[in-house]
Amino acid sequence: MFKDELKVKTEEVEKIIYSYLPKDIDFQQTVVDAMIYSVEAGGKRLRPLLIQETYRLFGGKKDICKPFMAAMEFIHTYSLIHDDLPAMDNDDMRRGKPTTHIKFGEAMAVLAGDGLLNYGFETALSVFEKYPGNECAEKALIYLARSSGIFGMVGGQTVDVETDSTGVITKDKLDFVYDLKTGALLLASMHIGALLAGAGEKELFCIDEIAKKVGLAFQIQDDILDVTSTTEELGKPVGSDDKNNKATYVTFEGIDKAKEDVRRLSTEAVELLDSLEFKNEFLRNLIVYLIDRNN
């Protein structure tokens, strides 16, 4: 069964991520504890999974993708820590556990997020210890940096925060937020996996189109779950978007249209994946599975 295979692969990915966590700590132990707590709090590990499976899709067999898998999860986790802060979404629970600022205090949570962002790039750069001068790794590093910053995730989060403060958002602006805040790192994950495996320009373009559809479907499904799921299933409070008067895809399109669009986007992504001469059945099943998730 796919869920059994997903469980095994997720556990394998977690071992890779944990192997890159900082060791031999001195007086800064508290911030490292907060970093490790946040990384080990759980999650789908979707982004490192996408790096690994897209790398395998194009025939990658070495371990060059591993530092990028860990780096991506560290950067993603930093964004969640900061997203939960009182100045942002002010959430007390994440993945069924107290958020980092509740557990360690607000100042240490800010530092833990900063630490994971910087440590993520330190981890990615470690690829050159084993693969010095690797051109694919250089391109992957540049792509990771751009996708994490003002032209990617941070840019999307900026517009999200500004619209939260004014309470005014258009559908075009919401699409922009989704493309960058959630979509940028999902796109980067698949693009980096393909890059590291040596995929050509046509293959990279196709992977990017797949990733854009997967990223949007993933975010719309998040919006749906905020309305239809339970706190126990989701691992964080539900209904927070409505409580905070936050406009979402469901707000603009309605729940039925949102569900329809998730299925359409996922189907289109699978069709594009099937059009490639390269095959990875697990990656295909993962994309399909994302539309039916309940957390």
CATH code, 165: 1.10.600.10
Tokens 């100042």 belong to 107
| Degrees, nearest 5: CA angle 71-75-81 | 145
User: What is the extent of the structural domain holding 233?
Assistant: 2-290
Model confidence pLDDT, tens digit, residues 155-213: 999 999 988 777 678 889 999 999 999 999 999 999 999 999 999 999 999 999 999 99
pLDDT confidence band for 95 (50 / 70 / 90) = confident
Tokens of 252: 């603009």
Residue 63 above 80 pLDDT?
yes
**Which residue type is seen at 167?**
G
Confirm whether 92 is domain-assigned. Answer: yes
Whether residue 97 has pLDDT greater than 70? yes
Number of domains forming the structure of the chain: 1
> Which pLDDT belongs to residue 111?
98
- Whether 295 maps to a domain, the answer reads no
pLDDT-derived band at 81, boundaries 50, 70, 90: very high
Rounded average pLDDT over 111-139: 98
pLDDT value of residue 245: 64
Cβ within 8 Å of residue 110, ≥6 positions away = 82, 85
Q: How many CB atoms lie within 10 A of CB 11?
A: 10
pLDDT at position 133 is: 95
* CA gap 286, 295 in Å, rounded: 14
Instruction: Assess if residue 17 is contained within a domain.
Output: yes
The stretch 211-235 carries a mean pLDDT of 83
User: What is the average pLDDT across 99-103?
Assistant: 98
Q: How confident is the model at residue 244 (pLDDT cuts 50, 70, 90)?
A: low
Average confidence (pLDDT) over 254-268: 93
Residue 238's pLDDT is 55
Helix (H, G, I), strand (E, B) or coil at 277: coil
CA–CA separation, 54 and 206 (whole Å):
12
pLDDT, tens only, 8-27: 999 999 999 999 999 878 99
CA Rg, the chain, in Å? 18
Is the model's pLDDT at 233 over the cut of 80? no
Is residue 241's pLDDT more than 80? Answer: no
The answer to whether the CB of 68 falls within 8 A of the CB of 144 is yes
pLDDT at 23 (0 to 100): 87
Confidence band, pLDDT 50/70/90 cuts, at residue 292: confident
More confident residue, 145 or 233: 145
Model confidence, pTM: 0.93
Based on the number of CB atoms within 10 Å of its own CB, is 228 exposed (0-12), middle (13-18) or buried (19 or more)?
Answer: middle
Query: How far are the Cα atoms of 80, 106, 159, 217 from residue 90, in angstroms, in the given order?
Result: 11, 11, 17, 25
